[in-house]
């Protein structure tokens, strides 16, 4: 198991951050890490996301497992087989006062192939999370 977590402080209301995070159709406008997302944000629904993977893109077929408005969005996926590689990605919005939140971007990776991917997860995935977090912050703080 590998756990990857990034976080950022955003000067915006939890409602605004949630609205941006769950408006999947607009991901191509602002999100450098999840460049496309199609689906519904409701527990049990499917969301297909596209993320960069080296010089190409990878499509992941995710299932929403938690969607608590203004608090947390979580989905899970697997590649080929859950035994080989699976991930559970969560986005948590923690209010820190009036019009201010801590955004936590976390994924837990499991499966037989995870140890072989550890270096790429720590470098490429971390960079992607950080880029997305910064882009979310910019979009949320744009008045």
Structure tokens at 32: 């450098």
**Domain range for 64:** 2-140
Residues 6+ positions from 30 with CB-CB distance below 8 Å: 20, 135, 136, 138, 139
Check residue 56 and give its pLDDT.
86
pLDDT digits (tens, 9 = 90+) for 64-101: 999 999 999 999 999 989 999 999 999 999 999 889 99
Check residue 122 and give its pLDDT.
85
pLDDT digits (tens, 9 = 90+) for 100-136: 999 999 999 999 999 998 888 888 899 999 999 999 9
Number of domains in the chain: 1
Q: Residue 109 is part of a domain; what is its CATH number?
A: 3.30.530.20
Pick from 108, 102, 106, 105: nearest CA to 133: 105
pLDDT digits (tens, 9 = 90+) for 27-39: 999 999 999 999 9
Check residue 143 and give its pLDDT.
63
């Amino acid at each position: 198991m590998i756990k990857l977590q990034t976080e950022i402080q955003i000067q915006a209301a939890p409602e605004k951050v949630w609205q941006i995070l769950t408006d999947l159709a607009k991901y191509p406008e602002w999100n450098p890490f999840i460049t496309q997302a199609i689906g519904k944000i409701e527990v049990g629904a499917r969301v297909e996301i596209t993320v960069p993977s080296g010089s190409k893109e990878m499509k992941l077929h995710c299932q929403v497992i938690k969607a608590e408005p203004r608090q947390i969005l979580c989905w899970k996926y697997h590649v080929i087989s859950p035994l080989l590689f699976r991930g559970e990605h969560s986005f948590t919005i923690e209010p820190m006062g009036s019009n201010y939140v801590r955004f936590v971007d976390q994924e837990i990776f499991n499966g037989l192939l995870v140890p072989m991917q550890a270096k790429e997860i720590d470098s490429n995935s971390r960079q992607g999370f950080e880029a997305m977090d910064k882009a979310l912050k910019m979009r949320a703080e744009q008045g």
